[in-house]
Structure formats: C-alpha cells, structure tokens
Amino acid sequence: MTDSELITLILQGDRDSFRILVERYQQTVFRTCMGFLHNKEDAEDLTQDVFIQVYQSLSRFRGESAFSTWLYRIAVNASLNRIRRSPLKIMFETLENPGISVPVINEDDPEKILIGREHAAWLRRAVNSLPENQRTAIILSKYEDLSQKEIAEIMMTSEGAVESLLFRAKRNLRKRLSSGSKKHENRHRKN
C-alpha cells in the first residue's frame, strides 16, 4: 500500500493504517533524531513525539512533496528544536556517552577500540559544532544517505545551496578534525 493510500485511510479514521505508516518510517525517523541528539533515549522519545505531531497535522499534508520529505522535515525541525531547548544537556550527554553512535569495531585490541571510540567522539563533537544549516545538511547526507535534491526539499532551499552547505560543512569538519588530531598528538607526546 502506498503512503498516499495509507494517508487517505488514516484521515478516514483507520488507526491500523497509521500503525503501518509508523512501522514503515520509525527507523528512519529514529536515525535522523539520533544523528542530531546522539542519545538513544532522547532519540526514541523524540521519535514518538514526531509521530504524534505527524498524526495531529496529517490533514495539513498537501502532497506537494513526497510524504517521506515532509516527515524528514518534521523530524529535523523537532531535533533542532530539542537541541535549542537544551544544548548543554545534549552536549554533556554526547561527551559522557562515548559508546553512543560509535561504529562496531571488530578488534580484540582494547587500544584500537579506544582509539576508534575517541575518533568517533571527535567526529560527533565536530559535527555538533557546525552551524545549524551545515549540520543539518551533513547529517541528512552522510547519516541518512539522502540526495542533494531530497535534502533541498527537506530544508526548503535550492540544490545549489545544499551543495554549498555540504562543501562548507566538509571543509569545516576537516579543519576541526585536523586541529583536534594535532592537539591529541601533542597531548600524547607530552605523556
């Protein structure tokens, strides 16, 4: 069943269709929220909030874009609003939870595992330090693997603007990661 068919049924009061829609997009919304919040519990809570908002505002969905684009926009805006309301909490949780969003490393060497976690933490901090529009573009591009066209629709801007945001975000990340790496090397040389 297509999203449009499900939406029609939901608007007619069919709650089972909404359950199907939630199941279809729950992981996508969760990954988007997690990309911004870096905290599993907060991302799960926000995912629920996003679907409540979707249910309450579904009648305003005009179908001018794909449903998934509209849903991403809601998830991104909800994530950014959550960050704006509690930036210190999110920053400290990100720093205190080095295991969150760290890729699985198939290593038996504890030192290599620790280095991998350290690099992941540097990357999270670097992404979090980007200006909001660059952070949004890079998360949607790299974490969600969306095209520039899809990102432009979600961010309500042009593809050229997205291309520029991604270029600047990557440049800023390279600078931040490079300077962080140099600081790390200098710190370890002193020890």
Contacts of 135 (CB under 8 A, 6+ apart): 36, 127, 128, 169
Question: pLDDT tens, 105-114?
Answer: 445 667 766 7
Mean pLDDT of the chain: 83
CATH of domain 1-97: 1.10.1740.10
The 10 Å CB-count burial string (b at 16+, else e) for 94-131 is: beeeeebbbeeeeeeeeeeeeebeebbbbbbbbbbebe
Question: pLDDT tens, 5-54?
Answer: 999 999 999 999 999 999 999 999 999 999 998 889 999 999 999 999 99
Q: Which segments of the chain belong to CATH 1.10.10.10?
A: 106-191
Decide if 109 contacts 141 (C-beta within 8 A).
Answer: no
Helix 67-85 / helix 15-37 crossing angle, nearest 10 deg: 50
Higher pLDDT pick, 185 / 77: 77
Please, which pLDDT band fits residue 162 given cuts at 50, 70 and 90?
very high
Q: Which segments of the chain belong to CATH 1.10.1740.10?
A: 1-97
pTM: 0.71
The arrangement of secondary structure in 106-191, i.e. its CATH architecture, is Orthogonal Bundle (1.10)
* Residue 130 to residue 155: CA distance in whole angstroms: 16
